[in-house]
């Protein structure tokens, strides 16, 4: 218990998103604002869905436990749907804002593309969702106590942390894929994202049967991650170039603009031009057209 569990669960749940924030978002003020606005939109969706659930609870018989549980499950699914609606609303808002930012093209990369906004918005949703799921649990884990003293599972904290991590990453991937689908008007993509989200929420209903919920959720996370990678313009070519050249060469002295190795868009190399990946800083590669 206490500090070990607290730090362990905190790092499991928030480590990757914190790293993503520090390395890709913190330097750019516009991305920070988009992140916080994304968090705000997720919060709005949660607020509305809690309102609906609360009304349903108050209107029903509070003694009937199965009814309460059923209403909670309804609340879960309704909240998922509302989150996706708000994701779409945020997409529309960002599209409107892009027109305002679109003409800043002659500057040093201060413009932000829709793909970057998709990633940042997804991460905003993910961080807020993770924070709301995990923070109270973390603060409880600091204090004295026995986990599962009434017969519940002992692995509460660690599974909560793992589930939070999966959900944060999933929100990020869904953001990328969703915005891409909206951009290209591929409505099946949107339907797929919504159904995946519903599936993940449904799988979490199997808790505390953790074998039924955690491995499938992680499989879905991996699959969605791969989907998001290819959807945002990555390719096997760029992956292999990443692996061979980056680890191979030592730090070069070229000063090129850094391209972080996350899901930010890497436009496909134009046919007929070879693009070389050159390291500019430890662990970071940038692309130079040859």
Partner 1 sequence: MIIMSSNILSGVDTVLDVGQSWITINALIWLWAFGFCHLLFMNTSDSEEDSYNERSALVQCESPTIPSYHQDHDMSLPQETDTKRGRPVSSGLDEPGLVERERAATPDGEEEELTLKYGAKHVIMLFIPVTLCMVVVVATIKSVSFYTEKTSQQLIYTPFKEDPNSVGQRLLYSLLNTIVMISVIVVMTIILVVLYKYRCYKFIHGWLILSSLMLLFWFSFMYLGEVFKTYNVAMDYPTLAMIIWNFGVVGMICIHWKGPLRLQQAYLIVISALMALIFIKYLPEWSAWVILAAISIYDLIAVLCPKGPLRMLVETAQERNEPIFPALIYSSAMVWMVGMADSNNPDSADERQRNEGGALAQEGVESEDDVALGGRRRCSAEEDLEEDRGVKLGLGDFIFYSVLVGKAAANGGDWNTTLACFVAILIGLCLTLLLLAIFKKALPALPISITFGLVFYFSTDNLVRPFMDSLAAHQYYI
Chain residues that interact with partner 1, rule: CB under 8 A: 29-30, 32-33, 36-37, 39-40, 43, 46-47, 49-51, 53-54, 57, 69, 72-73, 75-76, 79-80, 83, 100-101, 103-104, 107, 110, 128-129, 131-133, 135-137, 139, 156, 159-160, 163-164, 167, 200-201, 204-205, 207-208
**Angle at 182 (CA atoms; ends 179, 187), nearest 5 degrees:** 125
Q: Are 82 and 48 in contact (CB under 8 A)?
A: yes
Q: Are 193 and 174 in contact (CB under 8 A)?
A: yes
Shortest reach from residue 76's CB to partner 1, in Å: 5
Q: Quick one: 132 or 233, whose CB is closer to partner 1?
A: 132
Token readout for 16 is 């990757």
Shortest reach from residue 247's CB to partner 1, in Å: 33
Q: Quick one: 47 or 219, whose CB is closer to partner 1?
A: 47
Shortest reach from residue 72's CB to partner 1, in Å: 6
**Count of C-beta atoms within a 10 Å radius of residue 16:** 16
Q: Quick one: 29 or 247, whose CB is closer to partner 1?
A: 29
Q: Quick one: 150 or 248, whose CB is closer to partner 1?
A: 150
- The structure tokens 């509305």 sit at 48
Give the HSE-up count for residue 13: Cα atoms under 13 Å, Cβ half-sphere.
26
Q: Quick one: 208 or 215, whose CB is closer to partner 1?
A: 208
Which of the 8 DSSP states describes residue 274?
-
Please state, in angstroms and rounded to a whole number, the distance separating the CA atoms of residues 121 and 84. 12
Q: Quick one: 46 or 261, whose CB is closer to partner 1?
A: 46
Q: Are 5 and 141 in contact (CB under 8 A)?
A: yes
Residue 178: phi, psi to the nearest 5? -60, -50
Shortest reach from residue 128's CB to partner 1, in Å: 7
Query: What's the start-to-end Cα distance of the chain, in Å?
Result: 56
Which of 142, 156, 246 minimizes the C-alpha distance to 208? 156
Shortest reach from residue 139's CB to partner 1, in Å: 6
């Amino acid at each position: 218990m206490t500090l070990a569990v607290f730090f362990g669960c905190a790092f499991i749940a928030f480590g990757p998103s914190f790293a993503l924030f520090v390395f890709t978002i913190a330097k750019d003020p516009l991305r920070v604002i988009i992140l916080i606005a994304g968090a705000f939109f997720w919060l709005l969706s949660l607020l509305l869905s809690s309102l609906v659930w609360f009304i349903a609870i108050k209107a029903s018989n509070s003694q009937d436990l199965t009814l309460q549980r059923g209403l909670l499950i309804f609340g879960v699914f309704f909240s998922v749907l509302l989150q996706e609606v708000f994701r779409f609303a945020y997409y529309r808002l960002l599209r409107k804002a892009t027109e305002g930012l679109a003409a800043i093209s002659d500057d040093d990369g201060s413009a932000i593309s829709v793909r970057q906004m998709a990633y940042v918005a997804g991460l905003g949703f993910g961080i807020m969702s993770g924070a709301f799921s995990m923070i109270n649990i973390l603060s409880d884990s600091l204090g004295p106590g026995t986990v599962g003293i009434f017969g519940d599972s002992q692995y509460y904290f660690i599974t909560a942390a793992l589930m939070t991590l999966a959900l944060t990453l999933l929100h990020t991937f869904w953001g990328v894929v969703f915005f891409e689908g909206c951009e290209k008007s591929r409505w099946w993509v949107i339907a797929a994202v919504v159904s995946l989200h519903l599936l993940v929420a449904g799988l979490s209903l199997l808790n505390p049967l953790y074998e039924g919920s955690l491995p499938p959720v992680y499989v879905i996370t991996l699959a969605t991650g791969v989907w998001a990678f290819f959807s945002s313009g990555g390719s096997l070519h760029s992956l292999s170039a990443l692996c061979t050249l980056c680890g191979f060469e030592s730090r070069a002295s070229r000063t090129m603009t850094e391209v972080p190795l996350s899901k930010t868009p890497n436009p496909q190399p134009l046919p007929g031009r070879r693009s070389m990946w050159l390291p500019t800083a430890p662990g970071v590669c940038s692309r130079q057209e040859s």
